[in-house]
Structure formats: C-alpha cells, structure tokens
Amino acid sequence: MSKRILNSLFLLLIPLIRMAITDEINWSLFDFIIMGSLLILLSIGIHFVRKRAKNLINRVLYIGILF
C-alpha cells in the first residue's frame, strides 16, 4: 500500500513546482499536509472499493461518490 500512497503524494509536486516558478500559488506547509491527507484518504477509499465491489457499475458509482 505504500506505493499507492507515494503515487498519490506525487501529485503534490505540481503545486510545489508551480510555487517555485510563479507567485500565483502560495501554499503553506499546512495546505500541503491537508491536501496530502485528502489524497491518501481518497487513495485508500478507491482501493477499498476496488477490492469490495464486484459489479463494475457499482465500482464506478462508489468511486464517483468518493470524488
């Protein structure tokens, strides 16, 4: 599961790089912590739905609800 968490946290590099390039994005450490925890929870939720839901329609529905 650690690979999934690292993949989801990889998305945090986008605002970090943008902060280095431009002044339009100004995130604090607290913003990165909150967004990282939300991404981790979403990743865990999607993993849970993929393992538990047997029907494809239900999977799509539950993952859509998570988003």
46 vs 42: CA distance, rounded Å: 6
Domain of residue 6: give its range: 2-66
For the segment 14-29, what is each residue's pLDDT rounded down to a tens digit?
999 999 999 888 999 9
Average pLDDT, integer, range 47-66: 93
pLDDT-based confidence at residue 1 (cuts at 50, 70, 90): low
Number of domains comprising the chain: 1
- Residue located via tokens 């538990």: 52
Write down the pTM of the prediction: 0.79
47 vs 32: CA distance, rounded Å: 22
